[in-house]
Amino acid sequence: GDSVTQTEGQVTVSESKSLIINCTYSATSIAYPNLFWYVRYPGEGLQLLLKVITAGQKGSSRGFEATYNKETTSFHLQKASVQESDSAVYYCALRSSSSFSKLVFGQGTSLSVVP
């Protein structure tokens, strides 16, 4: 089946430093799935951070960016300079069905940005 694997557990980064959260996917039901990054801030639900529908393109939002790489089946999330307000849990996801927004999520990566 379809699956998403991302950087495990908790990541701690100092404020103003760069961030990368790795995400790789395996899609068996569709050749080029749509790819997403969702974020969940403490006490809140999932929010869409960015999405890329077309292989080879880059998505960006709030200083975060991710490039859809079909050769390496990756969709790593990067930010050049993180802030404390970026502390949250980040989920990489793929949409495996062309007929419905069925999302398959990674296990989540908890980001803690420290002063």
Partner 1 sequence: GALVYQYPRRTICKSGTSMRMECQAVGFQATSVAWYRQSPQKTFELIALSTVNSAIKYEQNFTQEKFPISHPNLSFSSMTVLNAYLEDRGLYLCGARVGGGRAAETLYFGSGTRLTVL
Given the DSSP bridges, would you call strands 10-14 and 109-114 parallel, antiparallel or unpaired? parallel
The tokens for 89 are: 């849990």
**Cβ 43 to partner 1 shortest distance, Å:** 8
Which residues contact partner 1 by CB under 8 A? 34, 36, 38, 43-48, 51, 53, 91, 95, 100-108
**Cβ 16 to partner 1 shortest distance, Å:** 30
Q: Which of 109, 96, 106, 105 is nearest to 12 (CA)?
A: 109
Cβ burial, residue 88 (10 Å; 0-12/13-18/19+): buried
**CB closer to partner 1 out of 14 and 107:** 107
**CB closer to partner 1 out of 17 and 102:** 102
**Cβ 36 to partner 1 shortest distance, Å:** 8
